[in-house]
Structure 1
Amino acid sequence: MIRPQDVLARAAGRAAGRAAGWSDVEAGRAILEFIFLGLLLLLPLTYLVLTAARLQAASFSASLAGREAGRAFVTARSDDDGYARARAAAQLAFTDFSFEDAAAVSVACDGSPCLRPDGTVTSTATIEVRLPLVPDFIASHVPASVTISSVHVASVDRFVAR
């Protein structure tokens, strides 16, 4: 229920505000300022989160691909089979994180043949991560990608007969 005293108090408050130099012209302007400043601060923060998430995904993918390529290689029956298995295992890890196009894996051995007892196999996974939302005309002038790599060393079992 609205009381007459409340109506009179509001009217008196408005009159006092006008006397102090306030006007109804500024009514509602605070919400516009809040939205403008909110967007101004939120857009760079959103970009930062997107970029950090993409780099973290690349880091996980490179680590997983290098480890799985090394494991797949040392459990193969022959060197040729090992290279094929390492590429397949790394490709699965790259695909899990959507890095099929800009990723590669390389396998190196410490001697010949690679799968000799107590041999070591080094697998290196490399991913070229394009930064999100960078247009091509800017990418030609500034670095628009980051390279993430991971190295994993796997040892061949001493007691496995091949």
Structure 2
Amino acid sequence: MRPQDLVACAARPRHPGGGNGRVDLEAGRAILEFIFLGILLLLPLTYLVLTAARLQAASFSASLAGREAGRAFVTAPSDDEGYARARAAALLAFSDFSFDDGAGVAVACDGSPCLRPDASVTSTATIEVQLPLVPDFLAVHLPASVTISSTHVASVDRFVAR
């Protein structure tokens, strides 16, 4: 190569699309499309995971609260203390999963008195789960909560003297 050709080659303008002078209008757009579509698809998926996790936590909490309320009731020495123990056990289970509001427990017996031998005690835990990230103006027109409940039947021991 002659020295004049080297100078001419270095002075020639370079084009981003290649050496033929055509500019590629699609250069750099794939990353923008990927980011835009990624965010567009990731937001609903994130909301779905958050909602499913909150509902699953409510399911675990209701199951635990109903079971522990029934166990606490049947081990109490009297009916009045049994109701107090059942409420305390259920509130502890609800607070373990951060469901302090909208949660409750109901205890029912199959006869009177509740703590007679071989009696059945039914405890029902109910939680109203507020769906995450639902604004107040939408909550007025759409259901913004789901109710989860669990029922547990405990039996009073046959051989315990009260």
1:115 maps to 2:152: no
Partners of 1:45 and 1:16 lie apart in 2 by 45
Describe the SS at the equivalent of 2:148. Answer: strand
- The answer for unaligned runs of 5 or more in structure 1 is 1-9
What amino acid is the match of 1:63?
A: S
Bigger Rg, structure 1 or 2: 2
Deviation string for 1:27-70 (max 9, x for gaps)?
22111111100000000000000000000000000000000000
- Equivalent AA in structure 2 for residue 128 of structure 1: E
Is residue 94 of structure 1 aligned with residue 94 of structure 2?
A: yes
TM-score normalised per structure 1: 0.88
Q: Which residue pairs with 2:124 in the alignment?
A: 124
5 Å-filtered alignment, 1:1-162, equals 14-16=18-20, 18=22, 23=24, 25-162=25-162
The letter of the residue matching 1:15 is G
Gaps of 5+ in 2: 1-13
Q: Which of structure 1's runs of 4+ aligned residues deviate more than 2 A?
A: 15-18
Pair 92,78 (structure 1): closer, same or farther in 2 beyond 3 Å: same
State the distance in 2 between where 1:104 and 1:140 align: 24
Deviates more, 1:25-34 or 1:51-60: 25-34
Structure 1 or 2: larger helix share? 1
User: Which SS does the other structure have where 2:153 is aligned?
Assistant: strand
Structure 2 Cα separation of the partners of residues 137 and 42 of structure 1: 24
Separation in 1, partners of 2:153, 2:101: 24
Q: Tell me, what secondary structure is at the counterpart of 2:19?
A: helix
Secondary structure (helix, strand or coil) at the match of 2:149 reads strand
Q: Which residue of 2 aligns with 1:6?
A: none
Deviations 1:120-160 (A, max 9, x none): 00000000001000001100101010000000000000000
Counterpart CA distance in 2 for 1:17 and 1:71 is: 82
SS at match of 2:81: helix
Equivalent pairs counted in the alignment come to: 151
